[in-house]
Amino acid sequence: MARIKKPKIAVWKFASCDGCQLSLLECEEELLAISEAVIIAYFPEATRAIMKGPYDISLVEGSITTPHDAERIHKIRRISKTLITIGACATAGGIQAIRNFKDVKQFIAAVYAHPEYIETLNKSTPIADHVFVDFELRGCPISKFQLVEVINAYLNGRKPNIPNYSVCMECKRKGNVCVMVATGQPCLGPVTQAGCGAICPSYDRGCYSCFGPKETPNTASLAQWFEKLNLSRKDIVRAFRGFNAFAEPFRKESETYEK
Amino acid sequence: MKSKIIKVDYLARVEGEGRFFVKIKNDAVADVKFSIFEPPRFFEAFLRDRRFTEAPDITARICGICPIAYQMSSVHAMEMACGVKVDGPLRQLRRLIYCGEWIESHALHVYMLHAPDFLGYEDAIQMAKDYPDLVKQGLKLKKIGNDLVILLGGREIHPISVRVGGFYRVPTKKELRTMVEPLKWALEAALETVKVTATLTFPDLERDYEFVSLSHPDEYPFNEGRVVSSKGIDIEVSEFLNHFEEIHVEHSTSLQGKVIERDDYLAGPMARYSNNFEKLTPKAKKAAKESGLGKVCNNPFKSIIVRAVEMVFACEEALRIIKQYEMPEKPYIEVPPREGIGHGCSEAPRGLLYHRYKIDDGGNILEARIIPPTSQNQKAIEKDLCAFVEKNLHLSDEKLTWHCEQAIRNYDPCISCSCHFLKLKIDRS
């Protein structure tokens, strides 16, 4: 019988907190089984061993924020059969995309004594703005269960079973009382993609959308509800300008309220 | 004349992106650079004009390994700015979630990032082939730490329940009791970890560090206390910037922590341990003594044992808090904003983390300053490399490189938190 070649997986990092790639190491119970099924060919956070590409799957974390990184992602695409982005930074530019609404020069001057040493792009952009991406996994951080599902799906040549409906569905299934209706707390759940398990409403707070916009979100309607809850226009801008600020529906809604 | 360059362009098994470079000329160390090429993320800039209540959610995103530390330093700073003190069970729960973070982070470091160096493996997965039970023990310990964070915080990475004034939701006594048996197991596993780490072979290196950590009159420190050093500093957290600075050294464009009136200093488990040995529990003290550690540890490679001892402490402390817990009436106390400046220092697994915020009377952040542990330790890392290479010039390049990497990993450097480091260009001539 022909030996089945184990697929090679690589993990790449751009501007990020490392939390999404850490999710792989957080698979404490599954980690050794995963390492039996695949070859972890490049994953600097976990190993100093490096195996040359091409790779069957590249998991890419982080957003593009420097000229060097804008070039590096093309090289990674060329040596990857399948490229999957993991997390809000890689799929929407991340929290650091808040710079995209401001003049980045002011940001540099605010943080660094020697701005002339800083090499950075004006905007923090998702990977898909630069290269073709096979699949985008949402979340800040991603759900490790969804990550295992996506890797499993690609290794078996099927479509990942990742829902694109809203957090509200998860909330209802858990039997949570709606925090917005019952307690008047602003909640981004209605426009946010499911996947976290509706943790925030389960802990008695509104969702702040770490998973970003769901498919066809009605942000305008939700913003009107926020106005009825007496949120100021500035607060509405801040609500949409979080960890997925540069995702298009959120960006547009925040800009509407900034005017 | 013997000259050579030892360098690693992408340091593995640390969090984030860093490199190092050692130049040896005429059998002496001519230059050492530990540098960070993490892209800047500008947290301190975009925190401006956010609500003071958003700081724990936003700053958690600085680091995926120790988000609790960022949340804790920020909530304490905000409460100081608003003149509010959180006490009683809420304060205990904050210590408890910190126990979870120390257990998961130390277990990750000891078993997956650092132990492979001592045993000669490229990573924990290769190590698992020869030491399956050891790696499984480490993974289980890590999981128990994470489970505690999940119970209190909602999830292990970027937890959602921590807020200014307390928590969004607090656990019931019954929920907390589910952690008792796992923590008892973890305590035994942590004691075992101390024994195992004590049998490793440690490169010979002792340095005269200035240990900097928090110190509290009654407790081994997590969130509160004075900032003290082994060379005489003893100050309120609010005086931090009067004694510590981040500077640009001549050979490097990256920011490095320094005691203003002296030089480099060391934050992290070894500093906490050496400054606070007497505050450890009897079991942790006994384990430390049996492992051969003194009350002060000056060999940076032995920080792996110190981490194990701190895991013993964290398990015991967690069990104590759970036993005494009475659920508070409300999960948080109200913190009405007022104009002011607040400072917060807490003990991230890898060392002191300082936050300072200026807010207006509406609760808008006007200024933010964050000094993470890796920034504070950067200069000490370079000095360790220098001292180690000077003593070991006879080693082969391969061995020297391996030990230099190991010396950096002693710090568990969390380079992502260097969200405000500068890019360093290296002359490779």
Chain A residues within 8 A of B17 when measuring between CB atoms: 13
Tell me the mean pLDDT in the region B155-177: 98
pLDDT at residue B354, rounded to an integer = 96
Neighbouring C-alpha atoms within 13 Å toward the C-beta of B19: 14
Asked whether the beta carbons of residue A18 and residue B253 sit closer than 8 angstroms, the reply is no
pLDDT at residue A104, rounded to an integer = 82
Of B13, B135, B157, the CB nearest to A19: B157
Mean pLDDT of chain A: 93
Of A40, A69, A98, the CB nearest to B46: A98
Q: Which residue has the tokens 């959602």?
A: B160
A20 touches B at CB < 8 Å:
yes
CB B344 within 8 A of CB B72: yes
How close B295 gets to chain A, by Cα (Å)?
Answer: 32
Residue from B372, B356, B343, B409 nearest B124 by CA: B409
**Apex B339 CA angle, B88 and B58, nearest 5:** 65
Q: Is pLDDT above 60 for B428?
A: no
Q: Report the residue of A6, A24, A45 to disrupt the B interface, i.e. the one with the largest count of B CBs within 10 Å.
A: A45
**Which residue of B lies nearest to A142 if distances are taken between CA atoms?**
B157
Asked whether the beta carbons of residue A118 and residue B422 sit closer than 8 angstroms, the reply is yes
Q: Residue B67: enclosing H or E segment and its boundaries?
A: helix B67-82
Q: What is the pLDDT of residues B268-292, one digit of tens each?
A: 999 999 999 999 999 999 999 999 9
Residue from A97, A140, A146, A141 nearest A122 by CA: A97
pLDDT at residue B198, rounded to an integer = 97
How close B288 gets to chain A, by Cα (Å)?
Answer: 27
E-only strand ranges, B360-411 = 365-371
Q: Between A and B, how many CB-CB pairs are < 8 A?
A: 173
Q: Is pLDDT above 80 for A4?
A: no
Mean pLDDT of chain B: 92
How close B159 gets to chain A, by Cα (Å)?
Answer: 9
Asked whether the beta carbons of residue B42 and residue A114 sit closer than 8 angstroms, the reply is no
CB B231 within 8 A of CB B262: yes
* Burial of B173 from C-beta contacts in 10 A (0-12 / 13-18 / 19+): exposed
Chain A residues within 8 A of B163 when measuring between CB atoms: 205
Position A117 confidence tier, pLDDT thresholds 50, 70, 90:
low
pLDDT at residue B248, rounded to an integer = 65
Asked whether the beta carbons of residue A111 and residue B40 sit closer than 8 angstroms, the reply is yes
| pTM for this entry | 0.95
Q: What is the pLDDT of residues B204-232, one digit of tens each?
A: 999 999 999 999 999 999 999 999 999 99
Percent of all residues in chain B with a pLDDT value above 90, rounded to a whole number: 78
CB proximity under 8 Å: A 199-218 to B: 199-200, 202-205, 208, 210
A101 touches B at CB < 8 Å:
no
Q: Is pLDDT above 70 for B196?
A: yes
Q: Which tokens go with B420? A: 């405000």
Q: What radius of gyration do chain B's Cα atoms show?
A: 21
Tell me the mean pLDDT in the region B261-274: 96
Position B421 confidence tier, pLDDT thresholds 50, 70, 90:
very low
Q: What is the pLDDT of residues B301-354, one digit of tens each?
A: 999 999 999 999 999 999 999 999 999 999 999 999 999 999 999 999 999 999
**Which residue of A lies nearest to B44 if distances are taken between CA atoms?**
A111
Distance from chain centroid for Cα A64:
13
Q: Report the residue of A48, A99, A167 to disrupt the B interface, i.e. the one with the largest count of B CBs within 10 Å.
A: A48
Q: Report the residue of A16, A17, A123 to disrupt the B interface, i.e. the one with the largest count of B CBs within 10 Å.
A: A17
Euclidean distance between CA atoms B86 and B63, whole angstroms: 25
Of A25, A35, A107, the CB nearest to B108: A25
How close B160 gets to chain A, by Cα (Å)?
Answer: 6
The arrangement of strands across the sheet holding B226-229 comes to B212-215, B226-229, B234-235
Q: Which DSSP string do the residues of A156-195 spell out, in sequence order?
A: TTS------SBHHHHHHHHTPPPHHHHH-----GGGBBS-
CB proximity under 8 Å: A 145-174 to B: none
Of A17, A48, A199, the CB nearest to B154: A199
Chain B residues within 8 A of A48 when measuring between CB atoms: 12-13, 122-123, 405
Q: What is the pLDDT of residues B10-55, one digit of tens each?
A: 878 877 778 888 888 888 888 888 887 778 888 988 999 999 999 9
pLDDT at residue A33, rounded to an integer = 85
Chain B residues within 8 A of A21 when measuring between CB atoms: 64
Distance from chain centroid for Cα B426:
27
Q: Which tokens go with B204? A: 């010979």
Q: What is the pLDDT of residues A137-163, one digit of tens each?
A: 999 999 999 999 999 999 899 999 999
